Structures are given as C-alpha cells and as structure tokens.
Amino acid sequence: MLGLGCSEDAKPAATQTAGSAGSSSGAGAGGAGQVAGSGGAASIAGSAGGGAGGSAGSGGSPSSPPIHFALFNVVTDAVEPSYDPAPDTLHRVELPPRFTLEARVPASTLSVKFSVAGNDTLDAAAPFRLTEDAQGKAQAWEAAFGSHEVKVATFASADGTGTPAHEFSQTIELRATGMDAAFTPTDQPTQDAWVTANLDQVLEPKMFTGSAGMLPYRLYTPAHYDMSVKYPVFVYLHGRGQRGSDNEGTYTSQLFHGPQSIVSPNLQHRFPSFVIVPQCGDMPAHQEWAHWIGNSEQDLYAGLGQDGSYMQHADPFPSALLVKELVQSLSPNLSIEPARVYLVGESMGGFGVWEFTTRWSDVFAVGVPMAGYSDRSKVSSILQIPFWVFHGDADQSNPVAGSRAMVEAINTAGGSAKYTEYAGVDHNGTFDKAWSEEQELLPFIYSQRRKP
C-alpha cells in the first residue's frame, strides 16, 4: 500500500482468486476482500449506494453494487460480519478498539486506490484495506469524530494505472455518542489520584436476587452513558480471599488500581463499558466460583489434582449461577451488547472463568483466566470462545501445569487460546504483571464478539 506512511514495494502484488486467503473474513465475499460474481465497469458515487442499505446483499446479486466497505477488526484480523457492509454511521462505543475499512471488490481487481481528505493510498495486493503497514498488515484507522468521505477506485492493473474499472464513495460518520468527544487523557499521577478518590463511588454497590438467592455486586456505569448505543459488559471474578456478603474488598486488583485501571477516565475513553464485580458467597464454607467433585465443608480442596485439574460437579454453586443470571438480566434494563460480555478472573476467579465458560458458553465472548484450575474434559464446549491465559511458573498455590495443559487441549482441538507464562513469577505476581504490563490485553478483550 502506498501512502499513509507505507511503501509500495514492501508488499508484493497478488493475483486474486475466489476463495483465496482472507475470504473467511466476512460473508458475501468470493475472494480476499472481493465481491463474488461482480464484473464489468461501473461508477457508484455517494453514500446511498454504499451504506447499510445500498450494499446489503452484495456477493453476486445483479442489482447490488460491485463494491462496498466492510469494517475490519485489526486485533482479530477479520471482517466484522455485522458491519459488512459498513453503515454510514458508526458509534465508537459499539466498535472494536482498532478497526479499518476493507474494500469488498470484484474478483478481477488487481489494485485499489483509496482517497480520504485528499490523501491517496494505493494497495496492490488483496485484501484491500484503507490502512496497512509496509508488510500489508492491517493498521488502525485513526479517524477523528465527524464525517469522512472515503473514495475507492479499482484497477485491472497491479500498479493502479489505466482507467478505473469501478469507482465508489461513501461518507462515514464516526460519532462519540455515549462518550466525551472532547476528552483529553491525563498523566499517570493524575489518573492514580482520580482512582484513589473515586473508585469506591464509581463502583456502585448493588444486590441482585435470582433463582439461587441474593448476590452482592459492584456496578460501574459509563460516565456518559447513552441508551441510544449499546455497551460491552466487563465481568471480573475475584479470588478466594474476597468471598463474603459485605460487597467490600472485591476490587483490590491492579485491574482497578494499576496503570490500566479499567474504570479510570483514561481507560474508559479507550474501552467504554459497564463493569461488574460480583462477590462470591462463603456459605457454605466450600462455595467457590467453581464447583468440582470432591470438595466439601469438611475438606475444601479435595478433588483438586496436582496437575492443576479437577472434575466439574454437575451443578454450579449458587453464586456462580447468580452471576450468569445477573448478566442475562441486564439487557432489558441497560443498553448493553449481549454479544460483547467479557469474563476475566484471578486465582479462584481463574477457576471461575473456565467454569462459567464451559457451563454457559453462549453467554461470554472471551475468557481471561489467570492462575486457575480447570476441567480439560469440557474443552469441546468452549472451542468457539477465544482465551488469553496467564500463569507464573513459580506459582506455589495453583500448579502452572493446569494452564499449560488446558491451553494445549484447546488449541489441539481447534480452539483459540493464547498463553503467557511468566518466568520466576509467583501466584499474585501473575495478576499484577498481566494488568500492569500487558498493553495488548485490554484491546484483545474488547475486540471480541461472541460467535453465533
């Protein structure tokens, strides 16, 4: 791609064929970013032909435009199916953190020229994306709030010479609905001071009543909450030491207090969402987020293997069931996106991530278990859920072998599990290091959307 800081000769031209690499990124494409069955020269101008209405049904229909834009998720490296075609209006709250546009073009296309605000970019290899690096890897489109006219011309030549085969333009408006469009990030000391002064207040104590009793929880509501847009939901599961019924002390993690405090104004501007912190009950005494065969009030840890595994009990504990019911109860009352419910947990909460996703795989879009045990016999139920697993190899509480084996089992079975193991890091150090240092963790989480 030439332009936007990329060099043309760094990305080799590629002949496009139906079914080539990238075709699985979105529905209705015959090849990598191509519209199957389109052909012949045409000129389409104006958003009426390329917005949510005009392009819907592309992929061979004689009456549909031969070109449209789709929203490309840079982190997952795939087209967002619900944004193919891309509508004329995009709400930042509802989008993945890093995105760009992909031109869905006829199979005969060898190069594409993008034009935005007078800046031209030539892409000489499929898939054709508005913003890429020199190696052809998609990069985030750093678009400001407001309207952007994006033009595209397709060519039958690899160097963009000759008469365009097709031309198309769409005006896309990026809106800050439910956000502060004028927000300016603060420095770290200012953010830390804000967290110290406001954390207890912004995590509002609540009580949920469900089929298994009552569940104390904390709820963060976005500061500029607007019911006209749908927000993701971030669910955090605490460790064993925070069990109880007082709704206190459940958010001591670096996830809330560290440099990436998820409820701070800086992070909420990047990742706007609701945040839920439920509290696991301690009655009966052996209640945890996970329920395994063997544990009891007489022997809390019976049934836990030295290899970091357990056998899941047929029935969840009440607190676990109540969390699931709480999440499912939100959508009638709050404007949330049910396909973007994110689950993370530390220690006992790491158990919980594996437990909740295997029991209710249709609820959660992603799982981030840190230093937990798991039941590897349940792997087949979670192959559609992406995971990022963390563990320290000096953990004296929960064996690192459990995380290693679970990740291997998922990936061997065709699922998707990233794994980060910290050398020389103990149990609690795993959580601190992950939330404080992993700059890609939150973008990974907020980029996921539950698969149907």
From the list 434, 276, 274, 289, the residue with the least C-alpha distance to 368 is: 434
What is the SS3 assignment for 101? strand
Whether residue 69 is predicted with pLDDT greater than 50 in this model: the reply is: yes
pLDDT value at residue 65: 59
Q: What is the pLDDT of residues 138-156, one digit of tens each?
A: 999 999 999 999 999 999 9
Residue at token pair 């060519």: 155
Structural domains of the chain sorted by starting position, each given as residue range(s) with its CATH number in brackets? 8-175 (2.60.40.10), 188-446 (3.40.50.1820)
Q: What is the pLDDT of residues 228-253, one digit of tens each?
A: 999 999 999 999 999 999 999 999 99
Over the chain, what is the mean pLDDT?
88
Residue by residue, DSSP assigns 41-66 as -EE--SGGGTSTTTSTTTTT-TTS-S
Helix count (H) and strand count (E) of the chain?
8, 20
Q: What is the pLDDT of residues 82-99, one digit of tens each?
A: 999 999 999 999 999 999
Q: How far apart are the first and last CA of the chain?
A: 34
pLDDT value at residue 29: 35
pLDDT value at residue 451: 87
* Average pLDDT value for residue range 122-126: 95
Whether residue 60 is predicted with pLDDT greater than 70 in this model: the reply is: no
Whether residue 42 is predicted with pLDDT greater than 60 in this model: the reply is: no
pLDDT tier at 332, thresholds 50, 70, 90: confident
Q: What is the pLDDT of residues 176-230, one digit of tens each?
A: 999 999 999 999 999 999 999 999 999 999 999 999 999 999 999 999 999 999 9
Calculate ∠ Cα 445-451-452, nearest 5°.
Answer: 150
pLDDT tier at 159, thresholds 50, 70, 90: very high
pLDDT tier at 452, thresholds 50, 70, 90: confident
Q: What's the whole-model pTM score? A: 0.87
What is the SS3 assignment for 193? helix
Q: How many CA atoms lie within 13 A of 4 on its CB side?
A: 26
Whether residue 47 is predicted with pLDDT greater than 90 in this model: the reply is: no
